[in-house]
Amino acid sequence: MFDQLFYREKGLFLQSLHSVAALTYIAVLFLLALVFSHPFYLAGLLLVTALAIWAADGLEAWESYLKVSLGMIVLIIILNPLMVHAGETVLWYGPRIPVLGRLVITLEAICYGAAMSVRLLAVISVFCLYNLIMHPDKTLQLFSRLAHKSGLIISLATRMFPAMVRDVNSISEVQRMRGVDFASGNLKEKIKKYASLLNILLLSSLEGSLQIAEAMQARAFGSGPRSSYRRELFRPRDLLCLSGCGLALTSGLYGFFKGYGTYEYYPQLGYLIDGSMNLLVLAVLLIGLLVPVALSWGWKHCRYLKSKI
């Protein structure tokens, strides 16, 4: 289950992108999800992110993210109408509650809570996409050019949790083969079994840290200029993806400064479709963001396109 939350090499198109192109795509999706408040824009960004996750063969991993975020989404939808009494379209007058005052449920508060839930889901989905297409070593290799020691610390920290999950699974399997049943016994016996598992995990982590230190010493870390064992190639696919991101970012910033991607929730709901220019900016934005998804589909089904990009 936990392995789905981490990067796994599958030889997919989005995983083959240059780290700059992949990070730019992730950053544009994340930025636009935070900037816009219009329901159509938020829904469109969520749809694009979902298609990118599908192209990265990560629907199972996305399902795990959805289960985690479902509780927060329900909480936002429930609490926002209860806590925020702004809005002119009153749906229900409730009783008076100490501290909170009289409950007033408005349509505007419900719609705002629903829109913010979509934004939260879009942001969480962007992080899911990042874990699916970005190898941690490539990301940290990119940033380590500016601060290699800080990059090393971040690299060790980010790989710690996945490594511990794998170690726990391995230790649990070995313990079960020796006849240890973690589900049987009373509370005291279960605590004793899991305590022995944590003890073995601690010893394994200390041994792993010593091996990392020996490997760093063998490679003369910090003794001179850094060298690179593997270099990333910048290919036509990366240029095409960056062009799509540039188109989406340009249209998004234009729409933001012109007020096309904003939406008035209070004191009264605004018009969803306020002119054709609003939809045109959204269409151009989505076309730019769908370029990597379309290339991924073509790269998978068209050998000629695969050979050219």
Per-residue pLDDT of the chain (309 residues; tens, 9 = 90+): 555 566 777 888 998 898 889 999 999 999 999 999 899 999 999 999 999 999 998 888 888 888 878 888 888 888 888 887 777 788 887 777 776 677 778 888 888 889 999 999 999 999 889 888 888 777 777 776 666 677 677 667 766 767 777 788 888 888 888 887 777 778 877 788 888 888 888 888 888 888 888 887 887 777 776 666 667 788 899 999 999 999 999 999 998 888 888 888 888 888 887 778 888 999 999 999 999 999 999 998 888 888 888
Backbone angles phi, psi at 261, to 5 degrees: -95, 5
Count, in order, helices (H) and strands (E) of the chain.
11, 2
d(CA 24, CA 177): 46
183: three-class secondary structure by DSSP: coil
Structure tokens at 272: 């969803």
Per-residue confidence (pLDDT) for residue 2, from 0 to 100: 53
- The pTM (predicted TM-score) of the whole model is 0.79
What own/partner pairs with CB < 8 Å and gap ≥ 24 does 197-206 have? 197/168, 197/171, 197/172, 200/171, 201/164, 201/167, 201/168, 201/171, 204/167, 204/171, 205/164, 205/167
Q: Which residues pair with 106 in a beta bridge?
A: 90
Q: What is the pLDDT of residue 4?
A: 59
In this predicted structure, what is the pLDDT of residue 5?
A: 60
- pLDDT at site 99: 67
Say what the alpha-carbon torsion angle 124, 131, 289, 145 is, to the nearest 10 degrees. Answer: 120
Given this model, what pLDDT does residue 230 score?
64
Contacts of 90 (CB under 8 A, 6+ apart): 104, 105, 106
